[in-house]
Amino acid sequence: MPRVSQQYKDDQRAEILAAARRCFVRNGFHQTTMQDVFVEAGKSAGAVYRYFPKKEDMIVGVATQNLDAVAEVLRAAVLADDGERAVGEVMAQLLESVVKRHHDEQLAAVALMVWSEALRNPVLAERLEQAASAMSQDIAALVRGRQESGIEASADALARVILSILPGFLVNLALLSPAGVAGFPDAVRMLWST
């Protein structure tokens, strides 16, 4: 019997998670059944259970993907910084990138569900805390690079304040659609022009 490659396994897992994400966005974490995921993925129960023994595992998998996607967008915006752009410009770029990812992946809708689920799921709460800490450190590094221009507050405190814009933006994006957040990036540019 031929061995199954790791790439095959990774692809199968990714397909199942993509199907679960679609189901979760459509029905929520707790209204989605395993049967819904089997049908959406076009896979047998055994194929799905091989990768995800319980729905909780799929929830954590989709949540982790979503947290990683938000962190990736933030890191890309910060790493693209040349030290010349204002913090508001970098954050505006982040928000614009989030809108693009939301269109393809329902990033904001999944983020809302993840935050809610983290209130009852300690594994997810820990993962969310780790992601928030990493994102805060990225923004603190950005702020530290601007402190020479007269910003005197703690970079870590400022980073948490600046990062708090992101959840509010995601809530508005999830509930109001991209048209509902159209002016946010420009407002952030003006707010943090340093």
Long-range contacts (CB closer than 8 Å, 24 or more residues apart) made by 153-160: 160/136
Fold of the domain built from segment(s) 56-191: Tetracycline Repressor; domain 2 (1.10.357)
Amino acid sitting at position 97: S
What is the Cα gyration radius of the chain?
Answer: 19
- pLDDT tens digits for 53-107? 999 999 999 999 999 998 888 888 888 777 777 788 888 888 998 898 888 889 8
Range 1-53: architecture per CATH: Orthogonal Bundle (1.10)
CA distances from 180 to 37, 103, 105, 175 (A): 31, 13, 18, 8
Q: Give the phi and the psi of residue 2 in degrees, each rounded to 5.
A: -70, 145
Pair 111, 66: CB distance under 8 Å: yes
**Tell me: the pLDDT tens digits for 126-175?**
999 999 898 888 888 888 877 665 656 678 888 888 888 888 899 999 99
Query: Residue 1 above 60 pLDDT?
Result: no
* Residue 153 Ramachandran class (φ > 0 left, ψ -120 to 50 alpha, else beta): beta
Cα(181)–Cα(112) distance, integer angstroms: 16
Domain ranges of the chain: 1-53, 56-191
> What is residue 77's DSSP assignment?
H
Q: Which among 35, 156, 25 has a CA at the least distance from the CA of 103?
A: 25
Structure tokens at 163: 């990062």
Is pTM beyond 0.85 here?
Answer: no
Residue linked to tokens 């992101």: 166
